[in-house]
A and B are shown apart, each in its own frame.
Chain A
Amino acid sequence: MDQQPAPGRRNRLVLLLLLLPLVATLVPEFYNFDKPSIGGMPFFYWWQLLWIAGVAVCVGIVYLATRSTR
């Protein structure tokens, strides 16, 4: 990276990561299906369970990008 973006701007873009888990899990139109199922578990269930890991990663990245240095 030859050019560092201003910290404020970079933080703002990173914040978009917080929207991903919200959109992915609060809109049932995206996942209210039976197929594809995994090991007998319908898509509806494993998709939402998978986003638990997703939210941990997204929030974790935002934490690392915005944590206080004090």
Chain B
Amino acid sequence: MIPAFNGLEFGIVLGMFVVVAVIGFAATRWRRGTSLASLEEWGLGGRRFGTVVSWFLIGGDLYTAYTFVAVPALLFGVGAAGFFAVPYTIAVFPLVMFAAARMWSVCHEHGYATAADFVRGRHGSSILALLVAITGIVATMPYIALQLTGIRAVIETMGIGGDWPLWIAFVVLAAYTFTSGLRAPAMVAFVKDILIYVMVLVAVIYIPYKLGGYNVIFHGAQSALAAKGYSTLLSGSQYLGYTTLALGSALALFLYPHAVTGVLAARSRNVVKKNMSLLPAYSLMLGFIALLGYMALAAHVKPVGGTAAKPDTTTIVPVLFNDEFPHWFAGIAFGAIVIGALVPAAIMAIAAANTFARDIYKPYIRPAASDREEGLVSQIVSVLLKLGAVAVIVSLKLTFALEFQLIGGVIVIQILPSVVLGLYTRWYHRWALVAGWIAGMGLSVYMLYVTPSATTAHFGNASFALSTWGLHTKMTIWTGIVGVVANLVVATVLTPLLARLPRGNDETKPGDFGEAEAPPIPFGPGPVVSQT
């Protein structure tokens, strides 16, 4: 069923898009330094963002179309297991608080702009840095594509045919990101988040009121899920999958280039740490948005698009809004989802482009590149990444939005030993870390390859069925956890064995990682005494 086109809805979404584009272009002038023509200024906003701007930027960065579209679609499809996104976005803050602060300090001290920069300086290994850079870029590309599926879900629901709105949205986005850099999504994030908070607040009060309360919603969802063999509670065999998916996603989140960019753009170490206790406000929003999946079940929402066998469930939230809200408010909510996808797409493209310019172009293609040239390469690559993402989405007609993100997480977590352990210890040998990466990545990709979905034979899901290995159980485990454990075991076993090979030069000093504070993990180097 194709929904009817509504001029008012379309006009509101278009109007919001234009306002955001104007803000994006105007952001060039905002808190600008001497010149935008360097990676520091264009790609990190001059590292001058305070608590409030960082909150909007990192929040706008981490809580993406995935939040608004893919998580409710998952609850709509499989019930309680989809709620893993809530423990995931709770666990992430205590887990990364100190690591992010140490990362900020050492990168600030040495002018590192990416995780790969840090790895090169810390482990003295250009191969390891290259692996980290490539891992980050490859993991980010499906994440950018995921943002597009969010926009497409809205377009489909508005009854607009064709892919031209996606192209227009991303060409305009590419244009203002090219001129304004990280300042554009930082400024647009203010608008985005205020709109999203309004939308969620209205949705979680108004829709339950219309449907007859949360009691009706959970009962309706339970009976709809039971018909498909799922439930609003976990079954015993789902525990392991739920825990490892939440924990693994939390460990992976701040390894993404765009998350590192958000942290490094902060003005001070305190800004980073303070935000770890302020950012959960977004998780609350995520939790309520997730429940929209159950509201859609209780309201008997029919997804649009996709095929009869595999309907495009990413459209359920837009369709729910279309059915339940008056057109003017549905228009505002749609606009919020579109802008909510554009902000992270811009930051992701900037972060991946920074990584390319700093860690692949400069060391391997043009070692003599000036700061200006490095910045320009980053600008151009950010445009190419966005247009490439549209081309992939349009040509492949992919509909499995969340799987993109889950596979990206499986890939990106393989740099955890090099980056996060590197923040605490130099015990690991650089070649052992390389070998660990190869083992972890190889195992993960193999496990993804042998996992089928309902419609494909390979790369179906990031949850690996233990029965594949002959275990008599229905339990699944998040593939990335298995991969990163293999990675850590190989790196740990090989480090003493490789002791005869030369170790890399470490250009960091213990005092570069921050002031005296207790190490949050047991094998850390002990309290660092401030040098100043």
Contact pattern, B 64-90, Cβ under 8 Å of A = 1, otherwise 0: 000000000000000010010011011
Interface size on A, residues (CB 8 A): 42
Which A residues between 8 and 44 are near B, CB-CB below 8 angstroms?
8, 11-12, 15, 18-19, 21-22, 25-29, 32-34, 37, 39-42, 44
Whether, in the assembled complex, B190 has its beta carbon less than 8 Å from a beta carbon of chain A, the answer is no
Contact between chains at A55 and B218 (CB < 8 Å) = no
Q: With A11-B517, A26-B247 as given contacts, are A60 and B277 in contact (CB-CB < 8 Å)? A: yes
Contact of A48 among B83, B93, B218, B517 (CB under 8 A): B83
A25 to B246 alpha-carbon distance, docked (Å): 9
Which B residues between 422 and 457 are near A, CB-CB below 8 angstroms?
none
Interface size on B, residues (CB 8 A): 49
Give the residues in chain B near A18, CB-CB below 8 Å: 94-95, 97, 520
Contact of B527 among A8, A29, A56 (CB under 8 A): A8
Whether, in the assembled complex, B11 has its beta carbon less than 8 Å from a beta carbon of chain A, the answer is no
Q: How far is the CB of A70 from chain B (nearest CB, A)?
A: 8
Question: Which of B36-44, B232-240, B324-332, B399-407 is the contact stretch?
Answer: B232-240
Q: How far is the CB of A11 from chain B (nearest CB, A)?
A: 4
Whether, in the assembled complex, B270 has its beta carbon less than 8 Å from a beta carbon of chain A, the answer is yes
User: In the complex, which of the residues B215, B273, B514, B518 has the most CB atoms of chain A within 10 Å of its own CB atom?
Assistant: B518
Give the residues in chain B near A55, CB-CB below 8 Å: 90, 93-94, 277, 280, 283
Q: Which partner residue on chain A sits nearest B214 by CB separation?
A: A40
Whether, in the assembled complex, B493 has its beta carbon less than 8 Å from a beta carbon of chain A, the answer is no
Q: Which partner residue on chain B sits nearest A40 by CB separation?
A: B215
Contact between chains at B90 and A67 (CB < 8 Å) = no
A19 to B520 alpha-carbon distance, docked (Å): 10
Contact between chains at B233 and A52 (CB < 8 Å) = no
Contact between chains at A34 and B97 (CB < 8 Å) = no
Q: Which partner residue on chain A sits nearest B105 by CB separation?
A: A68
Contact between chains at A68 and B514 (CB < 8 Å) = yes
A residues apposed to B, CB below 8 Å: 7-8, 11-12, 15, 18-19, 21-22, 25-29, 32-34, 37, 39-42, 44-45, 48-49, 51-60, 62-63, 66-68, 70
